[in-house]
Structure 1
């Protein structure tokens, strides 16, 4: 499955440094005006940036230390503050002295140094509070996303328990009638049923499958439906070799194919066709399930996404799974076909 976009660690670290540099630059300006005559502004700015960026480096180092990972988030950030604030103040000053070509010396022994110390603690504490809050919000967002994913997967399992027995019983009933009339067709239906059930079993045990396996399961399903519907159903599956190993949520296309048969082809008089195509574009991957069935209703019985009420649950289920797997990077829409039929189009990020 194409994963949700993640922040590159180096890019995130550089972004943190940039934010910290801006914060400590503002702090240097404030300190320069709050304590007139303390130092020249370039010198105050240099000391401020050295102290602030040293604190950031200490925080990043401690957060990657295994010992700190054992503590609760609150205790972890308190310990980080106890180490980073004084450590950043004293080590940052020594770095600034080195950059200025001066001899390293103790800081904080003069009365005038009391205000910079307090100011540094306040600014550093504010920065730590900001990042601790941001980490907590990110953790809560990750928990909500995981809960949504689990809810969607539980819905998928429920959908399987509802659909597979229904399909299995209908198929076995067809096999029973074919055993006496057409043994070869009965054997073919049993073979395709085995392939379908094996694929469904694999899909129930994983969070992502290759498109080649997804199309193999669809082929087995459509072969079974073609044997049941006879000449009323024909189909075509098109999967380019470049997309065969692309990972997608299991049984992603199954509800769309079932909708096409149930609401498009079965109520229609005469023959119908289903085309399932995967196409690679520059910015996305397109999965398209098209049918030549009755099409969308001409009246206003559509939802906000253009779906008739009868197919709303299956489409919403697919949308929920796309959102859980890809966030806002994936989409599903319906298109009317000419002269009749519907295309369900999924766009996935590359």
Structure 2
């Protein structure tokens, strides 16, 4: 049994389209009156010719366009031969009835419209020519409209495919971050188990809490700075268990930026890099600062550490997966309006600065 959506619905007569076409028909009638007055009739009364043109042309328009819309509708294109027959019959009927109507309205005796006089034959031919011109005009107009509609539909389909491809690429890039962080933490957990089981258990507990907080939010299309900073607090708490007093951190998030929206998991790779390659290899450890600010419509996220720095010989070299991932995600989402820079600090360490368009939000995502 067909559903409601699949049952064909009977379409009513398209009165709005008929009224829209009437504007062009009226204009054509005026042009015909001008042509008859100043070209064919040598300066006869324009008003009388206009009245005759309105009577004959109006009836021809109602018959031709009315039959077309009633029989073939707005969306279907009328077959050529049947529609030519409609034009010929409608033109003859319009010439006869329109001439009679003109004589009645103008109170003028006009020759019998059915008489085969040269004048009647000439006016009938002129009416058919005008109707044919109208047919060509409306056919071209409908064809252009149909092509524009098809082009708009094709553009919408292409944009939909592009959005789906971009979303799939973002999800792939985003999914790379989670196992990267998880494998690093599990490797450290494995090392702690053999010589400090208590700290290993505490690290495992913190890891479970962190994963509970991140696994749902990391798969969202967007999050807020408040949520992102809370996740960084959970992650840094996890790292403090692992590094102890060697790690200190500061999270600086202004209240008016808490609801700002951004892609998830942008800060975590930068903080992880600062710890893994800058602070952890340093004997005395160090301090990491995460800040957020906005200037000129651009949101700036800064991760600054006082670790070994970019080119220190004691620094562990990584795969640059996190940095590459962030840059690719920013390029996909924002193009050249977003960027990530890494610069050495004068006193040692590295400053990672991430800049992207500021997207304020009135709602705040809760963990």
Whether the 8 Å CA contact 2:247–2:285 is kept in 1: the answer is yes
Q: Secondary structure at the match of 2:215?
A: helix
- How many matched pairs? 243
Q: Secondary structure at the match of 1:344?
A: strand
Seen in structure 2, the aligned counterparts of structure 1 residues 246 and 168 have a Cα distance that, compared at 3 Å, is farther
Determine the structure 1 residue equivalent to 2:171.
Answer: 153
Determine the structure 2 residue equivalent to 1:132.
Answer: 150
Seen in structure 2, the aligned counterparts of structure 1 residues 274 and 295 have a Cα distance that, compared at 3 Å, is same
Q: Mark the structure with the bigger radius of gyration.
A: 2
Q: How many angstroms apart in 2 are the aligned matches of 1:176 and 1:310?
A: 25
- Cα-to-partner distance string for 1:143-164 (whole Å, 9 max, x where unaligned): 1232232233134324323431
Determine the structure 1 residue equivalent to 2:277.
Answer: 263
Residues 291-310 of structure 1 mapped to structure 2, 5 A cutoff: 291-297=305-311, 310=318
Residues 229-248 of structure 1 mapped to structure 2, 5 A cutoff: 229-248=243-262
Seen in structure 2, the aligned counterparts of structure 1 residues 332 and 130 have a Cα distance that, compared at 3 Å, is farther
Which shifted more, 322-331 or 270-279?
Answer: 322-331
Structure 1 position 317, deviation (Å): 0.9
Unaligned runs of 5+ in 2: 1-26, 39-72, 84-125, 360-367
Q: Secondary structure at the match of 1:112?
A: helix
Q: How many angstroms apart in 2 are the aligned matches of 1:146 and 1:281?
A: 32
Seen in structure 2, the aligned counterparts of structure 1 residues 260 and 311 have a Cα distance that, compared at 3 Å, is farther
Determine the structure 2 residue equivalent to 1:3.
Answer: none
Structure 1 position 277, deviation (Å): 0.8
Structure 1 position 290, deviation (Å): 1.6
Q: Secondary structure at the match of 1:257?
A: helix
Q: Does 1:338 align with 2:346?
A: yes
Determine the structure 1 residue equivalent to 2:325.
Answer: 317
Q: Secondary structure at the match of 1:274?
A: strand
Q: How many angstroms apart in 2 are the aligned matches of 1:234 and 1:175?
A: 24
Q: How many angstroms apart in 1 are the aligned matches of 2:75 and 2:168?
A: 34
TM-score relative to the length of structure 2:
0.55
Unaligned runs of 5+ in 1: 1-27, 41-77, 87-107, 299-308
Q: How many angstroms apart in 2 are the aligned matches of 1:326 and 1:135?
A: 25
- Cα-to-partner distance string for 1:107-161 (whole Å, 9 max, x where unaligned): x954134234323432442343244224313422331232232233134324323
Determine the structure 2 residue equivalent to 1:196.
Answer: 210
Determine the structure 2 residue equivalent to 1:143.
Answer: 161
Q: Does 1:210 align with 2:215?
A: no
Structure 1 position 210, deviation (Å): 2.6
Whether the 8 Å CA contact 1:291–1:341 is kept in 2: the answer is yes
Whether the 8 Å CA contact 1:286–1:348 is kept in 2: the answer is yes
Seen in structure 2, the aligned counterparts of structure 1 residues 341 and 39 have a Cα distance that, compared at 3 Å, is farther
Whether the 8 Å CA contact 1:295–1:341 is kept in 2: the answer is yes
Q: RCO (CA 8 Å, sep 6+): is it higher in 1 or 2?
A: 1
Structure 1 position 325, deviation (Å): 4.1
Q: Secondary structure at the match of 1:154?
A: helix
Seen in structure 2, the aligned counterparts of structure 1 residues 163 and 188 have a Cα distance that, compared at 3 Å, is closer
- Cα-to-partner distance string for 1:59-101 (whole Å, 9 max, x where unaligned): xxxxxxxxxxxxxxxxxxx974659xx9xxxxxxxxxxxxxxx
Q: Secondary structure at the match of 1:293?
A: coil
Q: Secondary structure at the match of 1:196?
A: helix
Seen in structure 2, the aligned counterparts of structure 1 residues 212 and 188 have a Cα distance that, compared at 3 Å, is farther
Structure 1 position 264, deviation (Å): 2.4
Whether the 8 Å CA contact 1:275–1:289 is kept in 2: the answer is yes
Residues 1-350 of structure 1 mapped to structure 2, 5 A cutoff: 80=75, 82=77, 110-171=128-189, 173-174=191-192, 177-179=195-197, 189=203, 192-297=206-311, 310=318, 312-349=320-357, 350=359
Seen in structure 2, the aligned counterparts of structure 1 residues 341 and 314 have a Cα distance that, compared at 3 Å, is same
